[in-house]
Amino acid sequence: MARTHPTPQRPLFLSIMAGAPLVPPTPFQSHTLTYLISLPPKSLSAVPTAIESSLNALLFKYDPRLLGVLFHYANIRFENNTASGRVLNETPYIHYKITCDAVVFRPITFRRMQGMQGVQGGGNGTADTADKEEDIVISAMVNKISTGHIGLLIMSKINGSVSSLKLPGWEFSEDEDAWVHEESGDEIRVGDTVKFVAENASSVGGIMDLEGRLDNNEL
């Protein structure tokens, strides 16, 4: 009978330490993240590489605890500055507690996060500045047009949409296959770039899905 080997497990998110808020508002936030990474014994010959592979699997995957996605990481540190892991409860994995510096793509301001799932672990001066935050404006490419919404693609990886209910002053033209502004005559077509403000985030198959509106300067 062939011997089976345990496969790497998804890193377990433990905590987040937020960096200082950035001005002007940007969706890219600096944080220090802590994970518990479980590796199979076959990874012992190349632990750093296996840990990087585990973190790479998290890139651009929506995590509600981050209220965004892991965009970039660097400077991986092991607990107690040692690369030795632990075996827990006789499981076939070796567990490593690591910390890394990270950039999180978080497109929603803290005042809009109220009512959404909070970030675990705390941070420095974040919630206190919620009411002072401006909208975070994101560049997005229009990849779909319909009578009910405008579909968007952000950084070629993240889906976004603007419902027709969020488009006052705009009207869909079937003849032009575009959204046309009633006063200015401006048009929004597939392939155009627009300024987008995210108001809600969800996940479909691990892919971040944003709903929101056009930036007021687009109206």
Q: Clarify whether residues 58 and 72 are in a common domain.
A: yes
Q: What is the pLDDT of residue 103?
A: 94
Distance CA 147, CA 171 (A): 9
Query: In terms of Cα–Cα distance, which of 22, 36, 26 is closest to 68?
Result: 26
* 192 in the same domain as 207: yes
Q: What is the dihedral of CA 12, 9, 56, 154, to 10 degrees?
A: -70
Answer whether 95's CB lies under 8 Å from 83's CB: no
Q: What is the pLDDT of residues 18-69, one digit of tens each?
A: 665 555 678 998 999 999 999 998 888 899 999 999 999 999 998 888 888 9
Whichever domain contains 146, its CATH number is 2.40.50.140
Q: What is the pLDDT of residue 1?
A: 44
Residues 121 and 156 in one domain: no
> Who's near 175: CB < 8 A, 6+ residues apart?
none
Coil, strand or helix at 55? helix
Question: Residue 218: which of 191, 193, 201 has the closest Cα?
Answer: 193
Determine the Cα–Cα distance for residues 68 and 29; give it in Å rounded to an integer.
10
For residues 62 and 166, state if they share a domain: no
Report how far residue 182's alpha carbon sits from residue 19's, in angstroms, rounded to the nearest whole number: 43
Single out the residue in 101, 132, 163 at which a domain terminates.
132
Q: How many CB atoms lie within 10 A of CB 213?
A: 18
Which CATH number goes with the domain that contains 47? Answer: 3.30.1490.120
* In a shared domain, residues 162 and 61: no
Residue 4 within a domain? no
Q: Domain end: 99, 132, 165, which one?
A: 132
The parent domain of residue 147 ranges over 138-218
Q: Taking the model in full, what pTM does it have? A: 0.75
Q: Would you state the structure tokens that stand for residue 141, as one six-digit string?
A: 């490419």
Q: Do 144 and 121 belong to one domain? A: no
| Shared-domain flag, residues 110 and 166 | no
Number of domains in the chain: 2
**Are 109 and 179 found together in one domain?**
no
Task: Determine contact, residues 214/196, Cβ cutoff 8 Å.
Answer: yes
pLDDT (tens digit per residue) in 186-211: 999 999 999 999 998 888 788 889 99
Say whether both 127 and 103 belong to one domain: yes
Note the pLDDT of residue 128: 39
Query: Do 99 and 28 sit in the same domain of this protein?
Result: yes
Tokens of 24: 């002007």
- Asked whether 161 and 155 are in contact (CB, 8 A), the reply is no
Q: Give the pLDDT band of residue 125 (cuts 50, 70, 90).
A: very low
Last residue of a domain, one of 72, 105, 132: 132
Distance CA 103, CA 55 (A): 13
